Amino acid sequence: MYLSKVKVKEAMDKQGIKTFKELAENLGITKNQLSVMLADEYNPFKTRVVDLCKVLCVSPNLVMNFEEKHGDDASDIVYEKTAVTAIELFAGAGGIALGLEQAGISTLEYVEFDKACCETLRANRPEWNVICDDIHNVSFKKYKDKVDIVTGGFPCQAFSYAGKKMGFDDTRGTLFHEFARCVKEVRPKMFLAENVRGLASHDNGRTLSVIIGVLEELGYTVQKQILNAAYFGVGQKRERIVIIGVKKGLPITFTYPKAEAKMTTLREALKDCPASIGEQYSEKKRKVLALVPPGGCWVDLPEEIAKEYMGKSYYSGGGRRGMARRISWDEPSLTLTCSPSQKQTERCHPEETRPFTVREYARIQSFPDNWAFSGGITDQYKQIGNAVPVELARRIGVQLKEAILQYRKNNHEKL
């Protein structure tokens, strides 16, 4: 018997307690003392656990795990008997992977092609079953009817519509086809697919229509929603379309996580952020951005400097408010890109005239400070910039797990 970090985090969410540091302050103890409490060997009958339950307004049984841990072989995925299981495709640097882990979902296999990303996953979680290969080479048939959820943020490629019905076979050659193939081979109870907001309007909505149509043909009821990460505990305005599928015939109800009333600010995201490496602006760019106030952009520059800096973009349409942008402490960051100093998508630090560092980038994407990124500095920024925010993934994961467990409870499924 031990305290479950996942259950404690779920209780924190209900009480509006965002971080373990804040929870420790409410308990009147240090963060290190709280870490000791949440360790597997901690005696859950100690007085502090009673205090913890009072702060979280829960009974002790709601934050305890009554299953014994088992298994010493790192090649085995060790999880509770009641575990909700998953397979993840296009795992990247671990945004979804880590979020689902924090939600208490046991992922049996992570598939990723990029070697730097694979190194990141293996370095942080040596026990994870990471398949570093082209997904076209990976078969999922051994998992048929044995996995609860298939997840993945497949890169979106355009389809050719000429003279085609655009069913499953017509998507061949795209990475979406590989996601659909995994769903077809595994037959999970649910799937989670996420992508950029632009997928909803790509080719006047036809691409998304094809994707949903194919997934429905595979036997799933599909729902979709665009979520802005800034309303889900992430210090960044990052919008993603989240597509959820439930196998037809199963009485599973999925509810998207509830958005908070206010956005998470950069100040909240970067509080006590550790120092790390980071790119620097060229001297020419630094002089320009030094003229921009927090929350400002190119419109705050003297006209002649703005014209020279922006070139032809100065005369183009649209707001272009991402150009020469300095983020304010009291707003979320704009969506992070793969390059922190890229022209036209600058994300300048509120006080210092520089891009965000690697660890600041990671914080804005809600990665924990101990999650290390492999490869050179360019690789690290790219991995972070491409990731799904961990906290957003965790909150979606909590809802996925709840849907599966409620289904099991209602249908007396053998655990």
Q: Helix, strand, or coil here: 192?
A: strand
User: 118 an active-site residue?
Assistant: no
Dist CA 214 CA 159 (whole Å): 13
Do strands 64-65 and 84-89 pair parallel, antiparallel, or not at all (unpaired)?
unpaired
SS3 220: strand
User: Which alpha helices (DSSP H) does 260-376 contain, by range?
Assistant: 266-270, 283-289, 303-310, 358-364
Q: Is 152 helix (H, G, I), strand (E, B) or coil?
A: strand
Cβ density class 372-389: b for 16+ within 10 Å, e for less: ebbbeeebbbbbbbbbbb
| CA–CA dist 349, 360 (Å, integer) | 10
The dihedral formed by the CA atoms of 64, 69, 74 and 78, expressed in degrees to the nearest 10: -70
Catalytic pick among 53, 117, 118, 156: 156
Please give the order of strands across the beta sheet that includes 130-132. Answer: 130-132, 105-112, 84-89, 149-152, 190-196, 239-247, 220-228
Q: Which residues are annotated as catalytic?
A: 156
